[in-house]
Structure 1
Amino acid sequence: MLYKLEGIVIRSMDYGENNKIIAIYTRHNGKMSIMVRGAKKMNSRFSSVTQIFTHGEFVLFKTSSMGTLNQSETLESHRKLRENLHMSAYSAYVVELIDRIVPELDANEMMFEQLKASLEAIESNKDPAIVLNIMEMKMLAIAGYLPQLDECVSCNAHDGEMGISITQGGVLCAKCFYKDNQLFRISASTLKMLRLFQRMDLRRLGAIEVKDETKKQLKLIMRAFMDHFIDIRLKARGFLDQMDKYEL
């Protein structure tokens, strides 16, 4: 049976001498794997559409769990993301989040739109670290661990100084700081950004400037939440860390 799907390539791997298996995140069907026969041949009509980050339309013949690509059309190649090392590293982290955390065949059109918008944002030179933080927050939501940031998780206080408790899953007010000896003391601007991440639609992300110190706090906190609640080793994150050390 033939299926026509719109999707973004989130993983591409060689299979045998001439073939590839790609994973795509589709608009209406969630994450799917596709066999692409002959994709490694020099004259293959499928060689370009199997490139990671490619947004395209895929027609596949499917009789079992994995379909076979029959036709394809590239809608957006995102070639710039693959050719620029900096952009490629951040984009690889975004698609690996989707690949590793979102369940197979779990349809979520809004998440497809967020993935599409995140790649477009990175390609248009919007701050990739902020894009990653927003996507990490969305992954926490999908996994059922969205932090409580609007009020103290212990006493429900809304005002005053707040800190982040990873183990308790959100903010603690100053009166409750004693309940977590590993509490993150954060600035008001950092908390404001974290709250913004929970509401942000990446399709509406404009030019945003964040102080370096705030970005450092955001990175530490989001990584702590991801490590504590999801705990998945991501190859792209290791590469980003190495790249940051080299740039320093």
Structure 2
Amino acid sequence: MKYLQTKALVLRSRPFAEMDRLLTLLTWDEGKISAKAPGARRVKSKLAAAVEVFTCGSFLLYRGRTIFTVSQAQVEVSFREQMVHVENYARGQYFAELTERLIPEGEPNPGVFEHLLAAWSSLQEWQGDRELLTRFFELRLLLLLGFQPHCENCLFCGDLQGPFYWSAAAGGLFCERCRPARQPGVSLSRGSHAILRAMQRVSLREMKNLRAPQGQQRELADFIRQFIQYWTETGSLKSLAFMREHGDP
């Protein structure tokens, strides 16, 4: 079919040609796609509001040879107002860029769509720990894309007691007895291990009840980000550096 009617999240929107915008969309039906929005930079463009980052909209897209073209677009939910706060903007941008880097082109994944939508939505009135919200987003995104690190027990013997060490190359945690000579790993505190296990089980709403001291925040951030770098080869993210400037470990 030449036309695709779908719901989409705008992951990226940048100037293109004289008055157009080039979009990276996460669609419900086709996964991640690229699309051109003709004339969207004009002051009176009917597309302008719907093609901004942090927008969930209904899109009618024309399927070209190499790229889609936006024929119609209507805003369903815009999160731009809550992104005025710099910390919300930094996290929201990081969620979008990480999703864009990790999800493959043209493969529908409704779970990832709903996960990002819920994360953006939660930022405005989040009463819990924002650093743990970010760790939850990262960890659940990995799970939805099949990259889940092994956090429950020792990779090799199944020990639940610890103490535990971790290695991105090993894919998760291992105990003192099974600690490989060539991969000595990094020590993980019992508190951080408990939070990792909890994050694998709880919903986004239940995350509001979790708290962690600064030392555990640093451990969790190092563990998850090094895992992401090793297994997904995402490279550096501009939004990650910006987010770290505004309070993330």
Across the aligned residues of Structure 1 and Structure 2, the Cα RMSD in angstroms comes to 2.3
In structure 2, what is the Cα distance between the partners aligned to 1:180 and 1:199?
Answer: 32
2:16 match = 15
Instruction: Say which of 234, 238, 247 aligns to 2:237.
Output: 234
Q: Cα offset for 1:244? A: 3.8
1:152-163, aligned counterparts within 5 Å? Answer: 152-163=154-165
2:31 match = 30
Aligned AA (1:15):
F
1:1-248, aligned counterparts within 5 Å? Answer: 1-125=2-126, 126-141=128-143, 144-177=146-179, 179=181, 182-202=184-204, 205-232=207-234, 233-244=236-247
Aligned AA (1:190):
S
Please, which moves more after superposition, 192-201 or 228-237?
A: 192-201
In structure 2, what is the Cα distance between the partners aligned to 1:124 and 1:180?
Answer: 46
Q: Deviations over 1:12-63 (max 9, x none)?
A: 0110110001111112321121111111111111111111010111112223
Q: How many residues align?
A: 246
Report if the CA contact (8 A) 1:102-1:142 is conserved.
Answer: no
Aligned-partner SS, 2:123: helix
Report if the CA contact (8 A) 2:63-2:69 is conserved.
Answer: yes
Give unmatched runs, 5+ long, in structure 2: none
In structure 2, what is the Cα distance between the partners aligned to 1:174 and 1:85?
Answer: 42
Aligned AA (1:243):
H
Aligned AA (2:246):
M
Q: Post-superposition, which runs of at least 4 consecutive aligned residues in structure 1 deviate over 4 A?
A: none
Q: Percent identity?
A: 24
In structure 2, what is the Cα distance between the partners aligned to 1:47 and 1:186?
Answer: 47
Please, which moves more after superposition, 143-152 or 17-26?
A: 143-152
In structure 2, what is the Cα distance between the partners aligned to 1:6 and 1:173?
Answer: 45
In structure 2, what is the Cα distance between the partners aligned to 1:215 and 1:15?
Answer: 40
Aligned-partner SS, 1:119: helix
Report if the CA contact (8 A) 1:53-1:78 is conserved.
Answer: yes
Aligned AA (2:174):
L
In structure 2, what is the Cα distance between the partners aligned to 1:200 and 1:95?
Answer: 22
Report if the CA contact (8 A) 2:111-2:144 is conserved.
Answer: no
Pair 1:200–1:112, CA change in 2 (3 A) = farther
Q: Cα offset for 1:203? A: 5.9
Aligned-partner SS, 2:50: coil
Report if the CA contact (8 A) 2:32-2:106 is conserved.
Answer: yes
In structure 2, what is the Cα distance between the partners aligned to 1:124 and 1:182?
Answer: 41
In structure 1, what is the Cα distance between the partners aligned to 2:209 and 2:184?
Answer: 33
Q: Cα offset for 1:181? A: 5.7
| TM-score for both structures, normalised by structure 1 | 0.89
Q: Cα offset for 1:187? A: 2.1
